[in-house]
Amino acid sequence: MRQSSFIVFLIMIFSGSAYSSLSVDDVFNMIAKNSEKTLNYTEIHSETIFTKEIKVTGKVSFSNSGAMSKYVITPKKSEMHIVGDTLSLINSDGVKSISLANYPVLASSVNAIRWILSGEKDKVLEHYSVRYSLMGDSWIIELIPINKIVLLKVLSISIEGSHGDVDVITLTKVNGVNVSTTFSRQ
């Protein structure tokens, strides 16, 4: 009886040790290797002045080149494509394009996601201070903007996942509004 308890104890210790030494660099590398894909998502925008909560569903695709496309299915169909510095919105009103350089707060959240997914840790560190925590094989990377203009609007961007998969991204704004995006595999 004692021997079997000891063996179970050793298995528990050694099975967790592979992940207990997982560094933030390891996580960035695993995400980057796993970044080219299409995922379903559900996005919840917390309470605003005019609404209780907004729920958006759709598909999002990422490429290892940093391009990102978001297809909104509900509540109203639209598409958003981000290539380089240009964000294009396609909906029933037509096509509108903007340069992210003119919208530093929007660029901050978009680029943080693209840089995380493409494993560009140097770019992330250039624009954010990074907090990292690990519990088992699950991790959380919290990004705090360094740019003072962005920090006046965005408190943090939290990325949660396990192994090389990003499961939830939460944008927390200064005004208390949260945008939480949960990804699911197809």
pLDDT tens-digit readout, 110-169: 888 888 877 788 899 999 999 999 998 899 999 999 999 999 999 999 999 998 889 999
Decide if 143 contacts 159 (C-beta within 8 A).
yes
Question: Considering the entire predicted model, what is its pTM?
Answer: 0.81
Check pLDDT > 80 for residue 19. Answer: no
Per-residue pLDDT tens for 70-99? 999 999 999 999 999 999 999 999 999 999
**What pLDDT is recorded for position 186?**
64
Evaluate the omega torsion of the peptide bond into residue 75 and state whether it is cis, within 30 degrees of 0: yes
Closest by CA to 19, choosing from 121, 117, 130, 139, is 139
Contact indicator for 99, 154 with CB cutoff of 8 Å: no
Q: What is the pLDDT of residue 45?
A: 87
Q: Residue 25: which pLDDT band, with cuts at 50, 70 and 90?
A: confident
Dist CA 71 CA 40 (whole Å): 9
